[in-house]
Amino acid sequence: MTSNHPATARSATNRVGTSSSHGKTILIGEHAVVYGAPALVLPVNDVRVTATVTPISASGDGHRLESTVHTGPLDLAPAAVMPTVTAVTATLRHLGSTDQHFHVRVDSDVPTARGMGSSAAVAAAVTAAVADALGVTLDVETHHELIQECERVAHGRPSGLDARGVVADVPVWFEGGRIEPVELTGEFVFVVADTGVPGHTREAVAAVREHHDRDPENVDAVVAQIGALARRARGTLVDGDAQALGATMDAAHELLISLDVSSDDLDRLVGAARSADALGAKLTGGGRGGCVLALAADGEHAERIAVALRDAGATATWTTRIGDRA
């Protein structure tokens, strides 16, 4: 990894560093992306993580973390926050500034285990805030590699999809390891709803793999259909065609049901969104729990969809807008 500004890092500083990132959600392509199909990832700009990094005396007890999971010395942090620990130590190591100690505060609205990129969003905010405290602005690829280092601690072999999605301001096209921003025509309004049940991504991935081992021809056909829907959805974003985008979302959910990665909770919320006249609705993320994504006609419609989703059992809802406001 290289930084555009390695020489500007200081070994001691009184500067308070800050940075923020946001959640993400998959529009089309979950599970199929594992088998080579493309995926579209949306930023969820209204669900944010903020990191604040304050220098403390080098003669103290080392770095400290303040978060909902752990507050105390960084070297006593539990396994659940090791990706956050890595965000601090990897950034300092990269910038050659290991003699400065920091108090790292993380304020996150991104729910964990819901397919919204919580670990990547925290890593994005913390790595950039540590660099900021040292007077450094990380270039895009260095920032990405630092987030990926944290994601490897969290997930083993991350695709990079979350790491790109939590820092992007526009939808991201992910195919064959390549990332492209997707320009939009008009504004799209989405509602994300939490079932209240943690997603079971590994279980769902294993189920799809089992289906593929048993009936590869059928699963490959479904993967190809999801890939085609992703390409169609990209076109609808570029064209500003919300009605057509909603239709691709509905079709994608039915294909994911056929892969056995949905659940009664997810299907119930999808049904509630459609009953509230959502333009489209589907599960998002690994499935077997987690969240539903619904497309609204406008902000007022999004509020009605959100109420219907909460009435149907959603434990939380978020409304997010992407694209140009009319």
Task: Write out the catalytic residue numbers.
Answer: 162
Q: What is the dihedral of CA 236, 188, 313, 166, to 10 degrees?
A: 90
DSSP 202: H
Q: What does each C-alpha distance from 105 to 65, 66, 100, 150, 259 come to in angstroms?
A: 6, 5, 16, 17, 40
| 73 Cβ contact partners less than 8 Å away, ≥ 6 residues apart | 61, 62, 63, 64, 65
**What tokens appear for 285 in the block?**
């993320």
Rounded to whole angstroms, the Cα distance separating 126 from 107 reads: 10
HSE-CB at 224 with a 13 A cutoff on CA atoms is: 6
**What tokens appear for 307 in the block?**
């109420």
